[in-house]
Amino acid sequence: AQKVTQAQTEISVVEKEDVTLDCVYETRDTTYYLFWYKQPPSGELVFLIRRNSFDEQNEISGRYSWNFQKSTSSFNFTITASQVVDSAVYFCASTGGGNKLTFGTGTQLKVEL
Amino acid sequence: SQTIHQWPATLVQPVGSPLSLECTVEGTSNPNLYWYRQAAGRGLQLLFYSIGIDQISSEVPQNLSASRPQDRQFILSSKKLLLSDSGFYLCAWSQGTFNGEKLFFGSGTQLSVL
């Protein structure tokens, strides 16, 4: 069974600071996918990134970057130069055998001026 | 382009009353459909998923049921609501059975059972 742990319940930073959101996953599958979703105050979850278990190359998209390390079963998410609009709940999730996402409990990020 | 509609946005219901939440998807055919619940301070829990009309899988035993009367319609129901049914309900869809398919979510329904 899949399990995703986001140990950080809430993080507060000041605008322009860098912030890293941690995600640790557990799986017995050799093929799996990892995701990050953003949930702004409006409630709708917005897809950010998907990585498969065979691709450990880190990815950068603008101010967002992701660090996937199979050796530590982690898929951490870094926001560089955070902005107030980044304030949201961020969810890490994984799939294994089957097409069902298992979500972590989310990290509430608050970016203040 | 594909869109997903979910309604109502908010709902306040007394204990013991029935429930019906509806979700529809446009711009695609034969989607996989999902109902998730997000309790306060917790992650998203998968309640039901469907790979086709009248094909519903339940993930957790509960007071709720789901139906898929049409290809792009997914309904979450209850005959008698419990206090513990309160939460934020999200409908989602994905295309295909590939296990890495990303999900697209509706805007959610905040249900308060009083």
**Does B46 contact A43 at a Cβ distance shorter than 8 Å?**
no
3-state secondary structure of B84: helix
Q: Does A40 reach chain B within 8 Å, measured CB to CB? A: no
Residues of A in contact with B46 (CB under 8 A): 100-102
pLDDT in tens, A86-110: 999 999 999 866 667 889 999 999 9
Question: What is the pLDDT at residue A111?
Answer: 97
Q: Does B4 reach chain A within 8 Å, measured CB to CB? A: no
Best mutation target among A9, A29, A101 (most B Cβ atoms within 10 Å) is A101
Q: Does A16 reach chain B within 8 Å, measured CB to CB? A: no
pLDDT in tens, A22-79: 999 998 888 889 999 999 998 899 999 999 888 888 888 899 999 999 999 999 999 9
Question: What is the pLDDT at residue B40?
Answer: 74
Q: Does B73 reach chain A within 8 Å, measured CB to CB? A: no
What Å distances lie between residue A37 and A46, B21, B44, B54, B66, CA to CA? 5, 23, 11, 29, 25
Q: How far apart are CA A87 and CA B8, in angstroms?
A: 25
**CB-defined contacts A:B, below 8 A:** 65
**Does A47 contact B104 at a Cβ distance shorter than 8 Å?**
yes
